[in-house]
Amino acid sequence: MDTRLNRLKRLFVSPDRAIRRTLLTGGVFILGFIILGVASIQVWEFSNSTWFCSNACHDVHPEEPGAYQDSYHARVKCTECHMGRVGTLEALYLKVGHVWDLPITILGLYSRPTEARSLRPPNESCERCHWPPAFHGDRVAAITHYLPDEQNTVQRIYLILKTGGGERAQGQGQGIHWHIENQVEYIALDEQKQDIRWVRAVLPDGRTVEYNDAIQPLSADQIATAEKRTMTCVDCHNRVGHPFAPPEQLVDSALAQSGLSQTLPFAKQEMMTVLNADYADQATALATVADELATRYGKDHPEVAAAHAADIQQAAQLAEELATRVVFERPGITWQSFPNDSQHKYFPGCFRCHDGKHVSSGDESIRLHCNICHSIPSTIGPGVDQLELPVTMVAEPLSHLESNFMADHRFQANDGCATCHGPVTFGSDDSSFCANSACHGKSWPAVKLDAAFPHPIPLEGQHARVWCYQCHEGVRKPTYDCVNCHEPPSSSHYGENCGACHTPVGWRESAESMVLQSPPIPHPLEGRDNCLLCHDPSGQVQPAPADHAGRTNAQCAVCHQPAQ
């Protein structure tokens, strides 16, 4: 036993040079391996950090990091969306694939606006936090809005968002997330997926329906060869990581949070004017907005400028700050370069498909019903505390469930609607259900309600002031005839072609502007109001046509005016 112990002592206490060298080399190797491993882990973590992605490597768009900090996902690392929540080995493979972007980034050859080509499928990113089978209850959304008037009148718009979701097998494939629980495919002709021409949906009853653009349809060959995308989360939630708010939202938010004084007259109007102006680049905007705002107040509202100098100075500073968020460093790039598809006010968004012009072979459009995804908005003005929102779903009449109902309800309206909706008084003053400013007081350029059945006459002039139901009387395609709405004179008239004399400017107004040209009037008639002295059918000078028999002198001006 002593002999073995002595041998061990000699080995470690007094080893020879070879053993010492071996132990030293092994120790250095192990230590170096540990240091290298720790350093590699640190480098890996650093290269996956938000700071590295935003500044050291991908500083190709200076506004993106700021937008990221303003998003709901500010605590989510860039790599969790752009590489997904995957294992380390797969993440290494994906990161190596990004090496091809290095020369493009170094040489500045990337496109503007920059498109994210490396986003992982939602099942590797979004759905790691937002689990699809989970049912999400409805929630109330409150939108604070200010009118561009002298008082910056506040309006609060309330609506219930029907988030829906859940598994279709359990009958929960409804609401906004119906699009995820049911298979929807589409063809987009542009990279930002704004121009969607064709949609195919597998409906809950098993039917497969194809919808084509009624105005610019795709041919069968184009549909067969085009890339078909399956709808996922990011087809609507495309800006959740880097949102760029429009000027109106920024100004409304500043007014609500007292960053812009609500007591400053015309604050909303003037801020919107300077922020929506067309600037060549960000430097020009920063050098212009503050002075332009002060100049506008001094010129258009001198009394306000004298009484609210401090508020105007605050507004000018805010205008400079907001200018950097709507006009970007790269010339020609603004907030409008980045469509937000989760809404439909500032960009087509939902109306890319739900626009009334995507029609099936059976003349059914993709449903354009506001209350599929949210309740009918309720607008509350200043001094109004009563809020009316539906707390339960009620059974709708079958007519309301028709796919073309949003287009048809304009001319189906009648007194029977009052049973549920109250008096049918159209407008946008929020005085009744049918006078909802959140619906009728807005312009929706992407919506084409008449795409499936173009209107036979231009809706201009007096025709633009007539309510649809007054002509349609509940019929989608009534017989177009002037006498349906205009009562013709009881006596003989000028033939059957009403359009020869009358235009949408006005039935009477258009006829009054006509000038008798044949035969020509031999002399001016100013001051001569007794036309029948010369044009009586039995007269000697220039008798009127025979079909003028029985007309009185007061009727001449309906069609004629003095020649000059």
- CA gap 355, 223 in Å, rounded: 20
pLDDT of residue 414: 77
Same domain, 271 and 327: yes
The sign of the CA dihedral 113, 117, 119, 123 is: positive
Would you state the structure tokens that stand for residue 302, as one six-digit string?
């001198």
- CA gap 488, 239 in Å, rounded: 57
Would you state the structure tokens that stand for residue 135, as one six-digit string?
């049912």
Cα–Cα nearest to 341, from 268, 236, 411, 189 = 236
Same domain, 67 and 42: no
Is the model's pLDDT at 427 over the cut of 90?
A: no
Confidence tier at 396 by pLDDT (50, 70, 90): confident
Torsion of the alpha carbons at 177, 183, 189 and 195, rounded to the nearest 10: -30
* Percentage, residues of the chain above pLDDT 70: 80
Cis-peptide into 382, omega within 30 deg: no
Would you state the structure tokens that stand for residue 28, as one six-digit string?
């250095």
Given 3-state DSSP classes, what are the helix, strand and coil percentages for the chain, each rounded to the nearest 5? Answer: 40, 10, 50
CA 345 to chain centroid: 4
| Domain end point (choices 110, 128, 146) | 128
Is the model's pLDDT at 90 over the cut of 70?
A: yes
Task: Tell me the per-residue pLDDT of 226-262, one tens digit each, with 9 for 90 and over.
Answer: 999 999 988 999 888 889 999 999 999 999 999 999 9
Contact 163, 321 (CB under 8 A): no
Mean pLDDT in residue range 66-85: 85
Q: How far is CA 274 from CA 22, 297, 320, in A?
A: 76, 12, 10
Same domain, 42 and 56: no
In a domain, 386, yes or no: no
Residues comprising the chain, all counted: 564
Would you state the structure tokens that stand for residue 262, as one six-digit string?
């609500």
Same domain, 84 and 33: no
Same domain, 531 and 516: yes
What is the domain count for the chain? 4
Same domain, 83 and 34: no
Torsion of the alpha carbons at 267, 273, 274 and 277, rounded to the nearest 10: 170
Ranges 81-85, 176-180, 392-396: which has the least confidence:
392-396
Is the model's pLDDT at 18 over the cut of 70?
A: no
Q: Whole domain around residue 552: which residue ranges?
A: 502-558
Same domain, 116 and 66: yes
- CA gap 166, 138 in Å, rounded: 12
In a domain, 209, yes or no: no
In a domain, 43, yes or no: yes
pLDDT of residue 335: 92
Would you state the structure tokens that stand for residue 95, as one six-digit string?
């990161």
Residue scoring higher pLDDT (508 or 417): 417
| Domain end point (choices 93, 113, 128) | 128
Mean pLDDT in residue range 49-73: 79
pLDDT of residue 516: 41
The residues, any chain, with a CB within 8 Å of residue 455's CB and separated by 6 or more, are none
| Domain end point (choices 314, 337, 360) | 337
Same domain, 81 and 108: yes
Same domain, 256 and 332: yes
pLDDT of residue 530: 63
Same domain, 92 and 55: yes
In a domain, 391, yes or no: no
The residues, any chain, with a CB within 8 Å of residue 405's CB and separated by 6 or more, are 369, 399
In a domain, 71, yes or no: yes
Task: Tell me the per-residue pLDDT of 276-319, one tens digit each, with 9 for 90 and over.
Answer: 999 989 999 999 999 999 999 999 999 999 999 999 999 999 99
Q: Report DSSP state, residue 506.
A: B
Same domain, 31 and 96: no
In a domain, 206, yes or no: no
Beta-carbon count within 10 A of 204 CB: 13
In a domain, 547, yes or no: yes
Same domain, 262 and 331: yes
In a domain, 66, yes or no: yes
Residue scoring higher pLDDT (440 or 337): 337
Q: What is the mean pLDDT of the chain?
A: 81
Is the model's pLDDT at 563 over the cut of 50?
A: no
Residue scoring higher pLDDT (153 or 523): 153
